[in-house]
Amino acid sequence: MIALALVFTAIYDSFKGEFTDMLDNAPKLMEAMLGPFPTDSIISPEIWLGIELYGLLFPIIFAAIAISAGASAVGLEEDSGTIELVLASPISRERIILEKSLAILAQLAIISACLWLGIAMGSFLFPFDVSLSNVLSATITGCIFGLTISYVTLAIQALNGKKGFALAIGSCFVGISYIFYVLSGLSDNLDSLKYVSIFSYYDGPGVLVNGLNATSLIVMVGLSAVCFIAALYAFKRRDIGV
């Protein structure tokens, strides 16, 4: 992630002029996929990162990592048949879910920190005068976005007990959510779909320009908490054959 961030900061000065022309002629579908394009003729580093990195690439990478982490947290041990050994130890099921959840959070936090560090390094190495505080806010928002998806997937796996099923449902959740996000940007009649899309609450490009959105964070943290509690309850109550 550090290398990826350095690449995007390095090429900004060379491509910002061509990028402005591209945005002027971009189709509405592209704007719906990446978020609202700026009306300002000057492409700032925040706008550049919002479209090139935080608009689609960063959330998709995080979503993929989050789905895999959520489905594998307990699902990997259930599929391999080693979960019985874990449950036979004097560790409660609640503690297992808690530790797995914290491990997911740590994984996403490390990746997020690497991304922010790469952009911070790029701002010193290249002509890239970006607001590092806004980049931090957008990166934290992306981390919580990934955590929410991961906990949704973890809850599905805890309820069903199948890693593959959790992967499928988690992927469908992200895919349908993104479709709703795109459709809401294509037509005013479909604007209400954005309220059921996690991508709307993520809004990394908007956070880069305007700063942290407390309402969006509350929604994602709330959904994460609900899914975490559901995973705790389901894993505790489900008969795993021990």
- Is residue 116 within 8 Å of 49, Cβ to Cβ? no
Question: For residue 241, what pLDDT band results from cuts at 50, 70 and 90?
Answer: low
Residues 6+ apart with CB under 8 A from 192: 184
Task: State the pLDDT confidence band at 27, using cuts at 50, 70 and 90.
Answer: low
Cα gap 31→55, rounded to integer Å: 10
In this prediction, what percent of the chain has a pLDDT beyond 90?
56
pLDDT in tens, 206-239: 899 888 999 999 999 999 999 999 999 998 887 7
Give the separation between CA 216 and CA 239, rounded to whole angstroms: 36
Please state the separation of Cα 22 from the chain's center in Å: 26
Name the residue among 195, 217, 46 with its Cα closest to residue 144. Answer: 217
Buried residues in 95-114 as b, exposed as e (16+ CB within 10 A): ebbeebbeebbebbeebbeb
Neighbours of 241 (CB within 10 A): 10
The pTM (predicted TM-score) of the whole model is 0.89
Give per-residue burial for 4-13: e unless 16+ CB within 10 Å, then b.
bbbebbebbe
The structural domains of the chain, with segments of one domain joined by +, span 2-237
Mean pLDDT value across residues 139-144? 95
What is the tens place of the pLDDT at every residue in 30-67?
666 666 665 555 788 988 898 889 988 999 999 999 99
